[in-house]
Structure 1
Amino acid sequence: MEAMLIELSERLRTLDTPQAMALAAAETVGHALSLSRAAYGDVDEPGQHIVIARDWLASGQRSAAGSHSFADYGNFNEALRRGEDVAVADVTVDPRTVGQVDSFRALDIGSMANLPLMEDGHLKVVFCLHRDRAQYWSAEELAFARRVMDRTEVEIARRSVSKQLRESETRYRTLFESIDVGFCIVEMKFDDADRAVDYRIVEANPAFERQTGAKVAGLWVSEFAPDLERHWFDTYGRVALTGEPAHFENKADRFGRWFDVRALRVGDPADHRVAIFFSDINDRKGMEEALRRLNDTLEQKVQERTQERDRLWSNTQDIQVIIDGEGVFQAVNPAFTAILGWTSEDAVGKPLFEFLIPDDEGVTDRALQHARVQSLPVVENRYRHKDGGFRWISWVAAPDGDLIYASGRHITAEKEQAEALQNTEEALRQSQKMEAVGQLTGGLAHDFNNLLAGISGSLELMQKRIDQGRFTDVDRYMTVAQGAAKRAAALTHRLLAFSRRQTLDPKPTNVNRLISGMEELVRRTVGPAIHMEVVGAAGIWPALIDPGQLENALLNLCINARDAMPDGGRITIETANKWLDENGARQHDMAPGQYLSVCVTDTGTGMSPSLIAKVFEPFFTTKPLGQGTGLGLSMVYGFAKQSGGQVRIYSEVGEGSTICLYLPRHYGETDEEGLAQKLDEASRAEQGETVLIVDDEPSVRMLVTEVLEDLGYTAIEAGDSAAGLKVLQSDVRIDLLVTDVGLPGGMNGRQMADAARERRPDLRVLFITGYAENSVITNGHLDPSMQVLTKPFAMDTLASRIKDLITSR
């Protein structure tokens, strides 16, 4: 093997590149150790991959050239990175490689050895040795491979150093010959007192000769410049004796030029040699002189500009301030004092936050952070005035280095004007509200006075006829009074629907079936000149609504559609399932979710946008005086909103209109059956059944008591919640509580019922109310043992509800 090493050394001297040397080393080891493959691989900086440029291969072997991840061949990477040799006799059983057998088989590797080469503590090269069979690696084999590797690396390093020296010499000579800076090495001559008396130019580059105008290499200065100024000798002599470099600018009168000179001692100090760099700066000196004269002129102009800036700083009506990054005032102009009252002495050196209204500190801090890095858009805040008030300031600012320059405009007067305008607008809106209230109350007074005239007149005539013994006319007057009372009830229901405060009785409803049931009524109402079509979607979802109120709403919409088509036309009632996502719900001003839509479309005159904006207002109508109350669409809108839905109008003038109700979907089945009884058909009470009536209106208590006694119930009356609760907390038998919602006595009807249920958990409750807030009756969702009945109500309806609740126990 020694012979092979000698042969390798001879061969390496004939090769030019590190790659060729590495391949020669691989070939030597491959033959010596009977390998199937040998190669040098360069390791990347993270130490995770190896790149093989060329490999030596035994006959018939596949090349492994390319990039490989250490992780694909086992878990020995850390050992290599520590500089340890890795030798594996059998890759199929060694725990370091057994998990990656497929990778080795792809390259026909049975055993392998990796020898790392470290550089500055980092893994740089791996010498890879492969056999196509499992075989033990002896220490002698690894030592030989390491010797080959070391010898190769030494030769590569020697060649690299030699090459670097040649390249350095070439670069130096090229630089020496081509630079514009004059360079020479001089040898100093001293007298016995160590005083420099002459120096010889040992070597000089072309630039030096161009600057001096002569070929002076080998000559003493006394030979070509006998009158050279003394300071040149003294300076170079001091550098040669002390070794301290010198850098100076000086004019050589002998050559008529200025030079920038750098001098330093080189070589053996005993040789008294100094390397000198000359830069011809004659042009620069001329420019400096011209610049000096220009600066004198510019300084005067700058002074003039500074005076202008100072006048602007002092005379501007806007605040000018300079602050640091922490918001501390560095300077303020006179306008700061004029507007805020604080002098420069009051402000400079203090944080701006000391002068702010506390409520504006947040927005100002964010503006300060912004202004540290980029120009600040307009921001407004309030500064305290020294007199105790405050002033509004509008700021812009920009950073410059560590400082921020800000300009503030006094806008307190503008703010006060804006506030006055806002107050005026608010007063106008309030005036418009009061006008609407006046219109509402006027309409109510007109309609109710008409109804009350019918009721009171009928009652007076009934009294006269009874006194006269003429009973045949009583029924007619009674019918008139009852009709007026029912119209008054309908009007209050419309008002409550508009205000979204009517008491609803929501039920799971099949809307298609409801429309089918009222279709004939609608056809008769709109008349034969109107063609009506119902398009009910299949698989329609149930809706949780008050069926009676939906019937009223649809009838109102169809009547309005009819009135918009005086010459006849078409009405289409259409149902559909709608699933609104966030975008669609936002466009409809609704919550996202599933809804049932009921749309009424006509081919009438249509509406303009300005008209659409007003149609839901109370008492707004386009019909002639006396032909419409203006509450129809208001009631529809109130019903939809109170039911958790929405109303939307789609219309163009001359193109007809579509009004859609969006009603919330009910997740469940509908109750297809309903039952009503007449008062004289209601079942009689059982022995001892007792009902408590709580209402602050004596007439209501009297009427309910009359109905209960007719049905055989025992009736107990209470005029407020305190009296009612006292009865409920006693041992008296109570089968049903009938109570108003709005009660005196400290509790409303719902609170009283809930308190009673703590003692009587099975208590049945019937709420009777002219108007109840949804929060009191839980948005219409009551327990099965609770029901609500809206005043005014028919006596037979009251009797039916009472019996239903009592018999449902």
Structure 2
Amino acid sequence: MSSPDPAARPGHAPPLRVLILEDSRFDAELLTETLDRTYAAIETTIVQDEQAFVQALAHDRFDVILSDFELPGFSGGQALELARKAVPSVPFIFVSGVIGEDNAVELLKRGATDYVSKGRLARLPLVLERALKEAADRRTLGIAEHRLRDAHAAADRIESRRMALIELSDHIRDMDDPAAMAYMAAQMLGRQLGVDRAGYGVVDTVAETIVIERDWNAPGVHSLAGVMRFRDYGSYIEDLKHGVTVAFADAREDPRTHATAAALEAIRARAVVNMPMTEQGGLVGLLYLNHGEVRPWPSDELEFVRDVGDRLRSAIARREAQIALTAFAASLERQVEARAAELEAAKEQLRQSQKLEAVGQLTGGLAHDFNNLLAAISGSLELMRRRGPLARPGDLERYIGVAQGATQRAAALTHRLLAFSRRQTLEPRHLDLNELIHGMEDLIRRTVGPEITLDVHAAPGLWSAHVDAGQFENSLLNLCINARDAMPGGGRLVIETANLSLDAQAARAADLSPGAYVSICVRDSGVGMSEEVAQRAFDPFFTTKPLGMGTGLGLSMIYGFAKQSGGRVGIRSKVGEGTTVTIELPRSEMPAEAQATQPQGLEPAPRAPAGETVLVVDDEAALRMLIVEVMQELGYATLEAGNGAEALRWLHSGRQIDLLITDVGLPGGMNGRQVADAARTGRPQLKVLFITGYAESVVLGQGSFDRDMHVMTKPFEMHALARRVKDLIDGP
């Protein structure tokens, strides 16, 4: 055995492990000296006969085998056969002085990697390096093929479950019996996941019982239909009461069930998933899976069960609501017939019905638009998966472009909905609106076309306003597009700004607080609208345009933006005489800020010059993985956490952290703002970037941020995130 001192190679790669089959001590020493001159770190094992060779293969791991051809009572050919069976991936190189050309060719056909003459040992390092590289390439290829097979299998599972969910939704939509709905869902779950039992039951949290009307069972497994007491099978009812999913692979090992494992095994429930179904914050039902043997529950399976549970609970709740509504309607009719002094109650029900109709219009429009976008995304991904390496590069780029475009439109749709509901993330600044409008003139002229005359009347000395520049520009452009569509034969479009002061009476009439405002009017000479249409103009998804020509969210978005900014929007219109829309925004006492120029096109994402460290906190594992990979690709060291508690462990660890990127809504009782505030107690200079899907007031603090706290709205492009991270880390 020959091996350099391991202490002389701190931090280096592990030594090359070589098995030498050679009966000549002199030749073995020559081989060892040649290897020592070539490699700084090497471990050699020398054997001389078949028994020692077989034992070495069985008990140790080697990177390469060097073998003589002729051995006493044993041959290199026999050694090759033994090595091919025991360690087929280890390169086998003959080093012999008597091997002939014909023998060498035959041995190569039988699996030898290469051969070197003992008279030309100078070739050994070159042959060895080539053999090791080829072995590494084969291992890499094998790993890639294994991962590809796993990826295909995972894609098949996802597709199978997706189709199962669609079929389930289609079936239970037309069912009237909640028990039949539950059995349909349980049957699909049991067969998809290959478990012994699946079912749904109604829970009584006071009595701590579950009532099971019917469940699905694999052949030979008995039903649990009836009433069961949770405490007979463990203490996990406490978790279920708090809405926590209970999943364990082995009842004997889980602390909540180890004492009652025998009872669970008696009903073929050694492995269990209990997923609580809640309504108005309380536990009402339980979707469960049982298996008689030890069985892990991967996260994708739990997510699938959760999807099934959500659909099932929604369908049951809808049917129960229909039953309750039918019963209520019948009761109401009897009351009206018996007691006509009850007219006011009927009127109230009518108002509720109108509210439901409005909600139905909102959800219907949202579902229509999102289903179209999801179809584009799903179709593109399916084509990419099906065609894969066979697709032309241009086709893949086209599919990717379709999916990204649909994703951006979906993001725009959610932003408009958030704007209407006044929940969008705003970054208000002190702005000169005249300057902003002048900067948009060319864009507006190109948008409305040459048939429409554009006049801009900018009031001199216009006050600054404290608003989000991007949302203001979007609102103005939407109003100009609406005006253009109202003038198909051409016309005149006027944008006018003014200062406005409202006393108490005028402010009350405008539903505003008294004070100073900046007014922006967009007036057109178009077809106008009736009083009835004007009253509904700001309703979400309400549009007078032909199908497919508008979402009906433009004016509702402007309405929400103005309200969230502390202002309002009003509309005046008359058929045949045009329309005027006025936005009034609170005056800012601060001077207007300079406008930053936006970068044109896709610039290369900036790299981290000094390997700064970024902590990424997000409970959405897929998004967290993408952000971490982008940060690492750009040279940042990364830490990651899925909730506030994990994040605080990193923040209290003493590790260098240059920037905290955190989602706002986090599980576990600690949101992103609380994580940032807790981090600042020990790291007062820590910079924070919040990423959020809507404007949670707990984060924004009524519109104010602490120093070095910033926000980005989901979804965002990864190169935009990289640029924002670089700017924050490099900033003062």
TM-score normalised to structure 1 length:
0.47
- Residues 1:635 and 2:557 are matched in the alignment: yes
- Residues 1:785 and 2:675 are matched in the alignment: no
In the aligned structure 1, how far is the partner of 2:624 from the partner of 2:588? 37
SS of residue matched to 2:697? coil
- Residues 1:662 and 2:577 are matched in the alignment: no
Match of 2:664 among 717, 734, 741: 741
- 1:269-418 equivalent positions in 2, closer than 5 A: none
The change in CA–CA distance for 1:746 and 1:775 in structure 2 (over 3 A counts) is closer
Name the structure 2 match of 1:758.
681
In the aligned structure 1, how far is the partner of 2:488 from the partner of 2:598? 39
| Letter paired with 2:364 | G
Name the structure 2 match of 1:611.
533
8 Å CA contact 1:741, 1:772 repeated in 2: no
Match of 1:552 among 446, 471, 474: 474
Name the structure 2 match of 1:693.
616
Which protein, 1 or 2, shows the higher relative CO under an 8 Å CA cutoff with sep ≥ 6? Answer: 2
Structure with greater strand percent: 1
In the aligned structure 1, how far is the partner of 2:603 from the partner of 2:351? 55
Match of 2:718 among 795, 803, 806: 795
Match of 1:531 among 436, 453, 458: 453
Name the structure 1 match of 2:211.
none
SS of residue matched to 2:549? coil
Residues 214-242 of structure 1, C-alpha deviation per residue, up to 9 Å, x if partnerless?
Answer: xxxxxxxxxxxxxxxxxxxxxxxxxxxxx
Deviation at 1:535, TM superposition (A): 0.7
Name the structure 2 match of 1:600.
522
In the aligned structure 2, how far is the partner of 1:442 from the partner of 1:721? 36
8 Å CA contact 2:612, 2:636 repeated in 1: yes
In the aligned structure 2, how far is the partner of 1:679 from the partner of 1:559? 27
Higher-Rg structure is 1
Deviation at 1:718, TM superposition (A): 0.5
Deviation at 1:686, TM superposition (A): 4.1
In the aligned structure 2, how far is the partner of 1:753 from the partner of 1:497? 26
In the aligned structure 2, how far is the partner of 1:730 from the partner of 1:785? 22
Name the structure 1 match of 2:626.
703
Question: Which sections of structure 2, spanning at least 5 residues, go unmatched?
Answer: 1-334
In the aligned structure 1, how far is the partner of 2:514 from the partner of 2:563? 15
| Letter paired with 2:637 | T
| Letter paired with 2:688 | V
- Residues 1:426 and 2:426 are matched in the alignment: no
| Letter paired with 1:808 | G
- Residues 1:499 and 2:421 are matched in the alignment: yes
In the aligned structure 2, how far is the partner of 1:485 from the partner of 1:776? 26
Residues 692-722 of structure 1, C-alpha deviation per residue, up to 9 Å, x if partnerless?
Answer: 1110101111111122112211111111112
In the aligned structure 2, how far is the partner of 1:554 from the partner of 1:746? 40
SS of residue matched to 1:779? coil
Residues 754-805 of structure 1, C-alpha deviation per residue, up to 9 Å, x if partnerless?
Answer: 1211121111110111113234312333234011101111112101211121
In the aligned structure 1, how far is the partner of 2:602 from the partner of 2:363? 37
In the aligned structure 1, how far is the partner of 2:342 from the partner of 2:625? 57
In the aligned structure 1, how far is the partner of 2:384 from the partner of 2:447? 33
In the aligned structure 2, how far is the partner of 1:765 from the partner of 1:643? 24
Name the structure 2 match of 1:725.
648
8 Å CA contact 1:679, 1:800 repeated in 2: no
Name the structure 1 match of 2:574.
652
- 1:38-49 equivalent positions in 2, closer than 5 A: none
Match of 1:509 among 431, 445, 469: 431
The change in CA–CA distance for 1:807 and 1:699 in structure 2 (over 3 A counts) is same
The change in CA–CA distance for 1:775 and 1:599 in structure 2 (over 3 A counts) is farther
In the aligned structure 2, how far is the partner of 1:656 from the partner of 1:592? 30
Name the structure 2 match of 1:396.
none
Name the structure 2 match of 1:288.
none
The change in CA–CA distance for 1:718 and 1:675 in structure 2 (over 3 A counts) is farther
Name the structure 1 match of 2:506.
584
Residues 158-185 of structure 1, C-alpha deviation per residue, up to 9 Å, x if partnerless?
Answer: xxxxxxxxxxxxxxxxxxxxxxxxxxxx
Residues 250-273 of structure 1, C-alpha deviation per residue, up to 9 Å, x if partnerless?
Answer: xxxxxxxxxxxxxxxxxxxxxxxx
In the aligned structure 2, how far is the partner of 1:690 from the partner of 1:510? 38
Name the structure 1 match of 2:397.
475
| Letter paired with 1:462 | M
Deviation at 1:417, TM superposition (A): 7.5
| Letter paired with 1:760 | R
In the aligned structure 1, how far is the partner of 2:587 from the partner of 2:626? 39
Deviation at 1:655, TM superposition (A): 2.2
8 Å CA contact 2:673, 2:698 repeated in 1: no
Deviation at 1:657, TM superposition (A): 1.5
The change in CA–CA distance for 1:574 and 1:419 in structure 2 (over 3 A counts) is farther
Name the structure 2 match of 1:452.
374
In the aligned structure 2, how far is the partner of 1:611 from the partner of 1:500? 23
| Letter paired with 1:642 | Q
Name the structure 1 match of 2:464.
542
8 Å CA contact 1:606, 1:651 repeated in 2: yes
Deviation at 1:683, TM superposition (A): 4.0
The change in CA–CA distance for 1:595 and 1:483 in structure 2 (over 3 A counts) is same
| Letter paired with 2:718 | M
8 Å CA contact 1:505, 1:545 repeated in 2: yes
In the aligned structure 2, how far is the partner of 1:519 from the partner of 1:788? 29
TM-score normalised to structure 2 length:
0.52
In the aligned structure 1, how far is the partner of 2:340 from the partner of 2:686? 60
SS of residue matched to 1:657? strand
SS of residue matched to 2:684? coil
Residues 294-351 of structure 1, C-alpha deviation per residue, up to 9 Å, x if partnerless?
Answer: xxxxxxxxxxxxxxxxxxxxxxxxxxxxxxxxxxxxxxxxxxxxxxxxxxxxxxxxxx
Residues 600-631 of structure 1, C-alpha deviation per residue, up to 9 Å, x if partnerless?
Answer: 01112223332221111111111122211111
| Letter paired with 2:640 | E
In the aligned structure 1, how far is the partner of 2:633 from the partner of 2:484? 46
- 1:195-274 equivalent positions in 2, closer than 5 A: none
Deviation at 1:520, TM superposition (A): 1.3
The change in CA–CA distance for 1:476 and 1:638 in structure 2 (over 3 A counts) is same
SS of residue matched to 2:699? coil
The change in CA–CA distance for 1:528 and 1:746 in structure 2 (over 3 A counts) is same
In the aligned structure 2, how far is the partner of 1:622 from the partner of 1:494? 18
8 Å CA contact 2:425, 2:695 repeated in 1: yes
8 Å CA contact 2:606, 2:722 repeated in 1: no
8 Å CA contact 2:612, 2:658 repeated in 1: yes
What is the root-mean-square deviation in Å for CA atoms of aligned residues?
2.2
| Letter paired with 1:727 | W
In the aligned structure 2, how far is the partner of 1:565 from the partner of 1:669? 37
Name the structure 2 match of 1:130.
none
Name the structure 1 match of 2:244.
none
Aligned residues: 396
- 1:621-632 equivalent positions in 2, closer than 5 A: 621-632=543-554
Deviation at 1:467, TM superposition (A): 2.9
8 Å CA contact 1:742, 1:772 repeated in 2: no
8 Å CA contact 1:676, 1:800 repeated in 2: no
| Letter paired with 2:449 | G
The change in CA–CA distance for 1:752 and 1:418 in structure 2 (over 3 A counts) is farther
In the aligned structure 2, how far is the partner of 1:528 from the partner of 1:469? 43
Match of 1:563 among 472, 475, 485: 485
In the aligned structure 1, how far is the partner of 2:487 from the partner of 2:578? 9
| Letter paired with 1:749 | G
- Residues 1:485 and 2:407 are matched in the alignment: yes
Deviation at 1:526, TM superposition (A): 1.3
In the aligned structure 2, how far is the partner of 1:719 from the partner of 1:607? 51
In the aligned structure 2, how far is the partner of 1:806 from the partner of 1:675? 20
SS of residue matched to 1:635? helix
In the aligned structure 1, how far is the partner of 2:731 from the partner of 2:587? 28
